[in-house]
Amino acid sequence: MKPNLLLAFFLLLFAMNWTASTSCAASESDDLSAECLPHTDPANIGEWQLQDAFSDEFNDDTLSSIWHVQGKDDGEGAYYNANQGRNSQFIPEAISQSEGILRIKSHWNPSFPFAKGYGVPPITTGALISKKLLKYGYMEIRCRVGKSPMSGAFWAVGNGVNDGNRGELDIFEHVGQGWDAQKDNTDISTTMQMSIHNWNRAINENLGNRRHWTQKHSLGFDVTDGMHVYAADWTEDYIKFYVDGALVRTLSKEEADDVKLNGHGAWVIDNEQRVWIDCELFDWEGRVSELKADMFGEEAVFEVDYVRVWKRGAGGNHKHDEHGANLVANGNFATNLDGWNTQGLVAIQDVSNWKYWKDNNPSLDPNAMQIGAGGTGAANQVISVEPNSKYILTAYLRTPGTTGTLEPSNLRIKPVVFHEGWFGVEDYGGSRLTRKLFHNWFQSYSIEFTTGSSDRTATIFFNNTESQRGGLMHVDGVTVVKVQDLRRIRDPALPNGKTE
């Protein structure tokens, strides 16, 4: 055999083996290779069963028939849930698949014949939706968000046939870049937002905000820089959110139901849901009038390597992933400020009579730490940590809020955002990390950070001194926990125990 033919033969053999090794379709035996198991459970403690109706490696030449493409009529209408897009329009031409990657391209497309109300600004994009409905499961995606104002999202929602089937679970809604200088959201592409929405009209009549629960989490990376793995373990009792093999948030049904909207709890996701992969334009992240055509270039592409969904086996569990103990002293401010270093106007405040505290602060003490208005207050605490370890700082935070202006283009009130509070971590072996906030209700925020090779302390801080607009700020429920890399956790019953 000639050398070039021999080389071609081996390349073909390698390609065949590679394709086989990355094919994760469920087999009759249900024995999955390690790479086809959840990223957080390589030992298969959950006894996972892959669900082909929601899983795709995107290795074929054409898109799998498990998906509905928004804008393409496959017998059930062109647009599921009557959703044609948000400040843009979903079109089939935005979807492509090649070399094992799904791509959703967002275009500045003024010549497109938009449906009424969807062409301001003139953006076309795409959405994939599972044809089958899912109730509970472990959902995982490996993806990279496009560098543009568009979101890249992995979520699920009821089919909208009746009001009892309108719960929505957002595993993430990433935005690739900020575009409105007035908003000052330069950290938008390092933020992961997890949410539950309730679209039941009987509960939400005349309410503009139907988000029932949300968590804003500051990642240690830019979501547009490379592929990352995101997942959610959705059960009847809890949801666990994961990033790159680490648990970042657990929301129990009990905690969610303590968060009230018109007297109704936030756990509204006991319904069957369709799985979505899509791009949208969120006008609450900035004024649409500030968008420009050059923001939608070649990098405005949401790329997906795979989507996999599993069901837990009858004997499976996933109890090995909980966080460690809280390292913060007096994070609930039950009676005093012991453990905190303060400057300026800092005091204890009883907030139990505040509506937003009652509705959005499950299981917290009635007191919060109050940092005085006018950019005059700050508090910090030095905590003990271990070198080369990942931690998550979480807190419930509130500031007076923001103002609003009328957008002439769509007659909607859009915020003029003045950030009035900050929190973060420093002196841990990395660069100082901060998060800005402006919401006038208690909302849960979190920041992840990794300590240096020799660092054994870190300083967490809260202040309103970084701007003259610093407003009255309230802090409650502060925690710092160590995070495990679950990709290295093996079944404790095995001789190896943990494998590095």
> Cα(51)–Cα(54) distance, rounded to whole angstroms?
6
Calculate the average pLDDT of the chain.
Answer: 83
Q: What is the model's pTM?
A: 0.87
Burial of 261 (0-12, 13-18, 19+ CB in 10 A): buried
> Cα(302)–Cα(285) distance, rounded to whole angstroms?
18
Domains of the chain and CATH, by start: 49-311 (2.60.120.200), 341-483 (2.60.120.260)
- Calculate mean pLDDT across residues 156-164: 69
User: Does the structure show a pLDDT above 80 at 304?
Assistant: yes
Q: What pLDDT score was predicted for residue 29?
A: 45
Reported as a single tens digit per residue, the pLDDT across 241-269 is 999 999 999 999 988 887 666 667 778 89
**Amino acid letter, residue 163:** D
Lowest-pLDDT choice from 215-219, 343-347, 358-362, 408-412:
408-412
User: Does the structure show a pLDDT above 50 at 294?
Assistant: yes
Percent of the chain with pLDDT over 90: 55
Lowest-pLDDT choice from 66-75, 188-197, 370-379:
370-379
Q: What pLDDT score was predicted for residue 267?
A: 87
- Calculate mean pLDDT across residues 59-67: 96
Which residue has 């076309």 as its token pair? Answer: 124
- Calculate mean pLDDT across residues 302-325: 86
In degrees rounded to 5, what are phi and psi of residue 371? -110, 120
User: CA dihedral in degrees (231, 233, 239, 242; nearest 10)?
Assistant: -30
Of residues 206 and 401, the one with the higher pLDDT is: 401
Question: What is the enclosing helix (H) or strand (E) of 8?
Answer: helix 3-21
User: Does the structure show a pLDDT above 80 at 317?
Assistant: no
Nearest to 499 by CA among 489, 45, 320, 247: 489
**Amino acid letter, residue 465:** T
User: Does the structure show a pLDDT above 80 at 281?
Assistant: yes
Of residues 205 and 364, the one with the higher pLDDT is: 364
Q: What pLDDT score was predicted for residue 451?
A: 98
User: CA dihedral in degrees (318, 321, 323, 325; nearest 10)?
Assistant: 80
User: Does the structure show a pLDDT above 60 at 238?
Assistant: yes
> Cα(418)–Cα(432) distance, rounded to whole angstroms?
21
345 vs 335, 354, 358, 414, CA distance in Å?
17, 21, 25, 32
Pairing of strands 443-450, 211-218: parallel
User: Does the structure show a pLDDT above 60 at 279?
Assistant: yes
- Calculate mean pLDDT across residues 155-160: 84
In degrees rounded to 5, what are phi and psi of residue 75? 105, -15
Of residues 489 and 452, the one with the higher pLDDT is: 452
Of residues 55 and 493, the one with the higher pLDDT is: 55
- Calculate mean pLDDT across residues 223-232: 97
User: Does the structure show a pLDDT above 70 at 297?
Assistant: yes
Lowest-pLDDT choice from 75-89, 92-106, 260-274:
260-274
Nearest to 90 by CA among 64, 114, 65: 114
Question: What is the enclosing helix (H) or strand (E) of 355?
Answer: helix 355-360
Q: What pLDDT score was predicted for residue 323?
A: 82
Say how many residues make up the chain: 500
